[in-house]
């Protein structure tokens, strides 16, 4: 799966480890990049990344732009293998603009960007065929997701489902369901009533056909 998300090195701007901070600044000044991958002399091995912010901080402090980019290199260990799992990639990426992706020979094959990962998650939640998004609050008891899924499935298919725990509290776990366009308002009403009787609190109901997010 990860390979399908990678932006190939052929489409990227990279810097050699022999480049200077001035070389990097020239690239940044003519692009909207926040960071650029740094490769070794062969152009095969990932060394790290250089950030625009760090170069500007260096300039403010009166630093020499003839210094090598490796002097301000970051994220040397922020990479994943092409066969890595989605979860490995997600938690390595976190709040970085990108992480590098390597093949089994440690050769740099491209990057996985934060924006691409966010698009994937958004697409998984609000599918093209989705009509309603329900956010339920449960008490986090064992089987609450399975029970809610069983109730909803009696009246309609489920386009997507996920759980969130923003409060780090098992008693306020959120269950998010996207229901398809084929679900009728009558079925939706029955689903909500039964879920309510079974102890689920409907925190929000969004009509995706009226939403600007999809």
Report d(CA 59, CA 82) in Å as an integer: 36
Question: Residue 9: helix, strand or coil by DSSP?
Answer: helix
User: Within a 10 A sphere around the Cβ of 6, how many other Cβ atoms?
Assistant: 19
- Same domain for 42 and 146, yes or no, is no
pLDDT at 169: 64
Name the residue range of residue 106's domain: 2-119
Report d(CA 192, CA 196) in Å as an integer: 6
pLDDT at 128: 67
199: left (phi over 0), alpha (psi -120 to 50) or beta: left
pLDDT at 8: 95
- Same domain for 89 and 149, yes or no, is no
pLDDT at 213: 47
For the chain, list residues with pLDDT below 50.
Answer: 213-214
pTM to 2 decimals? 0.70
Report d(CA 66, CA 87) in Å as an integer: 39
Report d(CA 108, CA 40) in Å as an integer: 10
- Same domain for 140 and 159, yes or no, is yes
- Same domain for 109 and 141, yes or no, is no
Q: Which of 97, 119, 141 is the last residue of a domain?
A: 119
- Same domain for 111 and 180, yes or no, is no
- Same domain for 108 and 171, yes or no, is no
Q: Which of 119, 149, 170 is the last residue of a domain?
A: 119
pLDDT at 130: 83
DSSP of 59-115: HHTT--TTSBGGGG-B-TT-EEETT--HHHHHHHHTTSSEEEEE-TTSBEEEEEEHH
pLDDT at 214: 47
- Same domain for 158 and 52, yes or no, is no
CATH number at residue 109: 3.10.580.10
- Same domain for 92 and 158, yes or no, is no
- Same domain for 79 and 147, yes or no, is no
- Same domain for 22 and 80, yes or no, is yes
> Tell me: the pLDDT tens digits for 144-174?
899 999 999 999 999 988 887 756 665 678 8
Overall number of domains in the chain:
2
User: Within a 10 A sphere around the Cβ of 162, how many other Cβ atoms?
Assistant: 13
- Same domain for 24 and 87, yes or no, is yes
């Amino acid at each position: 799966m990860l390979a399908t998300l990678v932006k190939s090195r052929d489409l990227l701007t990279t810097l050699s480890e022999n480049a200077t901070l001035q070389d990097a600044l020239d690239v940044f000044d003519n692009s909207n990049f926040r960071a650029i991958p740094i490769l070794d002399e062969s152009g095969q091995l990932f060394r790290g990344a250089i950030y625009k912010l760090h170069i500007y901080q260096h300039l403010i402090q009166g630093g020499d732009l003839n210094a090598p980019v490796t002097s301000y290199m970051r994220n040397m260990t922020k990479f994943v293998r092409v066969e890595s799992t989605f979860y490995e990639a997600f938690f390595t990426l976190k709040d970085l603009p990108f992480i590098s992706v390597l093949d089994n020979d440690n050769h740099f094959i491209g990057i996985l960007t934060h924006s691409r990962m966010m698009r994937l998650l958004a697409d998984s939640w609000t599918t093209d065929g989705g009509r309603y998004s329900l956010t339920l609050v449960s008490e986090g008891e064992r089987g609450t997701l399975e029970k809610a899924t069983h109730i909803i499935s009696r009246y309609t298919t489920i386009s997507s489902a996920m759980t969130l725990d923003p409060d780090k509290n098992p008693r306020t776990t959120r269950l998010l369901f996207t229901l398809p366009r084929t679900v009728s308002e009558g079925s939706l009403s029955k689903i909500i009533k039964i879920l309510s009787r079974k102890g689920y609190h409907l925190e929000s109901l969004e009509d995706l056909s009226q939403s600007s997010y999809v």
